[in-house]
Amino acid sequence: MRLRVLFLCFAISLPTVAAPLPVPDQGPALRIQGSNTIGAAVGPALVKGLMEHQGLQGVHSESGDGANEQRVVGKTRQGKTVTIEVAAHGSSTGFAALKNNRADLAAASRPIKDSELVDLESLGDLKSPEAEQVIAIDGLAIILNPRNPLNTLNTEQLAQIFNGEVSTWEALGGIGGAIHVYARDDQSGTYDTFKELVLSRRGKPLAGTAQRFESSEALSDAVSHDPQGIGFIGLPYVRQAKAVAIVDGDSQPMLPLTSLIATEDYPLSRRLFFYLPPSSRNPWAKALVDFTQGSKGQAIVAANGFIAQQVQAIGVAPRPSMPDDYQALARDAQRLTVNFRFEEGSASLDNKARQDLQRVVAYIRSHGKLDKQVTLVGFGDAKNDPQRAALLSKLRAMAVRRELVKSGVVPRDIRGFGAQMPVAANTADEGRIKNRRVEVWVY
């Protein structure tokens, strides 16, 4: 199963390049290292897009010096060769390469760790809005063999399966005997994300019997050929396997659907990043980041099976489990495919939310909804006092309102639903951060 989506293009507009980027006399114009999820396909595709945007001719990919490495090559009109190198050995290798000056740009399928942030502080603040660039949203799909009858698993069950505590399908109410566990390797950001969202949250290591893979495609194909197999994979690599719905805490069961991943409500959704050191003097690195955030770059993101950061209005079917006021909103309005989230322990919008503000304003302006056609809905994590939770959720919505008003958007209404309708378990920081969100609805 390969999930894709076509979005209306309301991304940040990309200005026409005024002058060609300089071509180095020797060596690559840009070196990218890191995530296999990015480097396998979408990263090189973005590089090709930038090179063609620059007017280079004959742009093509060649095999690199090692496995999971490639060079993207093109020629200027004057006949000079431009080469960009992409190495995809896992997110942690990207940060190591920045430190050792073997890369100009790190690709990561997880946020930079505090230890890496400290280790790279000589390059500037890699958590600054200019350095930390969310380029796409991905969802970790839990995949089974298509003949497996199970359709839903919760994150607690996933931890027990991948730890080896639950070792048979019968223990989960299924059939098939022993469970065969497939996982990405230790260098993979996909594995880091799964470990953080599922295993580490419950203090469990991965079972030593798990079969490990550097290649996403190889893992997916192995599960699709094994009736007893289960694995985790980035969304574009579901391929011929079967994705199951996931429950986290009190959330509803959620399939890795594009709308649920775009809003990051899906329990195993994640962000994909470029990290551009503030100290960088490489004009190709900055140009690739700008191109990726623009409409052409985000179209390439979507074409490669990830979720583009472009705004779309979707209908939401009212459900009895929703609060009455929320059901009424769902009947009268449409929800935008973006959620605003906040820095940990702060009322400040995080880096992605700052980028999304521009996209949301562009959508609202282009659809003529500047004046009282927008409702902001805040949510939060559980508190001992439900009234405090409700107040904090409304304050988050007010923080978004302040930013929208600066751009000429006058919201119709602001609502706070407290800890209702969680999308993640409140037992860990990651879940609480996901529950602290603001939705945007338009009439």
> 196: burial class by Cβ within 10 Å (0-12, 13-18, 19+)?
middle
Per-residue confidence (pLDDT) for residue 187, from 0 to 100: 85
Q: What is the Cα gyration radius of the chain? A: 22
Strand residues in 288-333 grouped as ranges (E): 313-314
Question: Where is 32: in which H helix or E strand?
Answer: strand 30-34
Model confidence band, residue 13 (pLDDT cutoffs 50, 70, 90): very low
431 vs 390, higher pLDDT: 390
Whether 224 contacts 145, CB under 8 Å: yes
Q: Which two tokens stand for residue 297?
A: 């770059």
Mind giving me the DSSP string for 119-134?
HTGGG--TTSTTTEEE
Q: In this predicted structure, what is the pLDDT of residue 425?
A: 85
Which residue in 45, 67, 85 sits closest to 282, CA to CA?
85
Q: State whether the Cα torsion 269-72-186-130 is positive or negative.
A: negative
pLDDT tens sequence across 378-388: 998 888 888 88
pLDDT more than 70, % of the chain? 96
Q: Please write the tens of the pLDDT for every residue from 48-57.
A: 999 999 999 9
| Helix (H), strand (E), coil (C) string for 369-422 | CCECCEEEEEECCCCCCHHHHHHHHHHHHHHHHHHHHHCCCECCEEEECCCCCC
- What does the pLDDT look like over 279-333, one tens digit per residue? 999 999 999 999 999 999 999 999 998 899 989 999 999 999 999 999 999 999 9
Distance (Å, whole) CA 318 – CA 41:
38
Distance CA 113, CA 193 (A): 12
pTM of the full predicted structure?
0.82
Domain ranges of the chain: 30-135+272-303, 139-260, 311-442
Condensed to tens digits (0 to 9), the pLDDT of residues 197-217 reads 899 888 999 999 999 999 999
Q: Residue 314 corresponds to which tokens in the numbers above?
A: 């979707």
Check if CATH label 3.20.20.70 holds for domain 139-260.
no
Sign of CA dihedral 299, 303, 304, 305: positive
Q: What is each CA distance from 187 to 193, 203, 293, 428, 431, in whole angstroms?
A: 11, 20, 26, 24, 24
Check for a shared fold between 30-135+272-303 and 311-442: no
Q: Give the domain 311-442 fold.
A: 60s Ribosomal Protein L30; Chain: A; (3.30.1330)
Query: What is the reported pLDDT for 441?
Result: 98
Q: Which CATH class is domain 30-135+272-303?
A: alpha beta
What are the residues whose beta carbons fall under 8 Å from the beta carbon of 84, sequence distance 6 or more?
28, 29, 30, 31, 32, 47, 51, 71, 72, 284
